[in-house]
């Protein structure tokens, strides 16, 4: 009994170590002097320097892609939650013809491969002079953010008890007032989850940002990191420092909201 328990604990620890090791290696290497990054590997770092982080925020002005990513991901999240909450409430709680078709439509759009709409979006944004602008990223981002948000929120609205709503309706409150005063206060954990997941997807998005930005002034964090170039060789120290910086907000969100994220992922997937 005790032996099998010990084995299980050992198994869990090993698996977790495997999962975490690449991240650990990224962090320690980002604090290692460039000349020793590919030296004798050692699990515990021998020298710790901040050179790469100084170069990142000094020479490269990495604040700029961070600002771009925050603006684009924040705006996309706000728009898709704002519009999505009404749509999702109707789809989850109201009875009307065409509802099932709409849900199928939204699910279908969420399965669209991004690459298949890059060319028309590029031509459209060029026509509107929106290439290399913030709206020129927010609009394409809505193509995946809206279906995702709506799908998650429909799942959450369905879980709310119908009785409260019915009581409010009996008392003569209209549907919209019920939504505002009864449903939304109850649904805020769902709203927070949808917002967090949408923000994560936007923060990590790469293909659209690569396609619709032209220079460092509008690069988002993933594009800025992917296009890092040194003068003579790959600047691994700075790349890894940037990778750590790009991971930090995500790690924080996961730490704070892991329960919600899991609930959102499984509500969106398992429960349809």
Partner 1 sequence: MRSEERLGWALSLPGLAVISAIAVFPIGWTAWESLHVHDLRMPWLGRPFVGLANYAEALSSPRFWDAMAHTAVFTAVTVTVELIGGLFLALIVDRISRGRDLVRTTVLLPWAIPTVVVALVWRFLFENPAGLVNAVLFRLGMSSPTWFADATAAWVPLMLADAWKMTPFVAVLLLAGLQSIDRSLYEAARIDGAGWGRQLTALTLPLLRPALLVAFIFRTLDAIRVFDVIYVMTGGGPGTATEPIALLTFSMLLQNLRFGFGAALSMIVFAVTFVLAVVFIRVLGRDALTGRVA
Residue among 191, 188, 203 at smallest CA distance from 253: 203
**CA torsion, points 207, 212, 218, 222, in degrees to nearest 10?**
0
CB of 124 to partner 1, least distance (A): 7
What's the rounded Cα separation, in Å, for the pair 64 and 125?
22
Residue 50 C-beta: closest distance to partner 1, Å: 19
Distance CA 180, CA 166 (A): 14
- Exposed/middle/buried for 216, CB within 10 Å: 0-12, 13-18, 19+? middle
Among 76, 62, 65, 63, smallest CA distance to 199 is for 76
Phi, then psi, of 24 in degrees rounded to 5: -60, -45
Nearest-approach distance from CB 61 to partner 1, in angstroms: 19
Q: By C-beta, is 51 or 247 nearer to partner 1?
A: 247
CB of 231 to partner 1, least distance (A): 18
Residue with Cβ nearer partner 1 (55 or 102): 102
Shortest reach from residue 88's CB to partner 1, in Å = 8
Asked if residue 198 lies in contact with residue 80, where contact means CB atoms within 8 angstroms, the answer is yes
Q: Which residue reads 């650990």 in tokens?
A: 24
């Amino acid at each position: 009994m005790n032996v099998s328990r010990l084995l299980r604990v050992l198994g869990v620890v090993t698996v977790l170590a495997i999962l975490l090791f690449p991240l650990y290696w990224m962090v320690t290497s980002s604090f290692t002097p460039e000349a020793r990054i590919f030296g004798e590997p050692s699990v515990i770092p021998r020298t710790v320097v901040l050179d790469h982080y100084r170069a990142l925020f000094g020479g490269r002005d990495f604040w700029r892609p961070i600002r771009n990513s925050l603006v684009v991901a924040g705006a996309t999240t706000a728009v898709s939650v704002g519009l999505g909450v009404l749509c999702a409430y109707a789809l989850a709680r109201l009875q009307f013809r065409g509802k099932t078709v709409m849900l199928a439509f939204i699910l279908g759009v969420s399965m669209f491969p991004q690459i298949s709409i890059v060319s028309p979006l590029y031509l459209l944004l060029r026509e509107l002079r929106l290439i290399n602008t913030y709206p020129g990223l927010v609009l394409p981002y809505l193509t995946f953010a809206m279906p995702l948000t709506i799908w998650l929120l429909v799942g959450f609205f369905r879980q709310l008890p119908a009785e409260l709503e019915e009581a409010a309706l009996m008392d003569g409150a209209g549907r919209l007032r019920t939504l505002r005063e009864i449903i939304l206060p109850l649904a805020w954990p769902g709203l927070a989850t949808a917002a967090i997941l949408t923000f994560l997807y936007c923060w990590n998005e790469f293909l659209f940002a690569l396609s619709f930005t032209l220079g460092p002034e509008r690069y988002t964090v993933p594009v800025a990191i992917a296009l890092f170039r040194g003068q003579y060789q790959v600047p691994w120290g700075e790349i890894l420092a940037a990778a750590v910086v790009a991971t930090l907000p995500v790690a924080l969100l996961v730490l704070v909201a892991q329960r919600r994220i899991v609930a959102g992922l499984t509500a969106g997937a398992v429960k349809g």
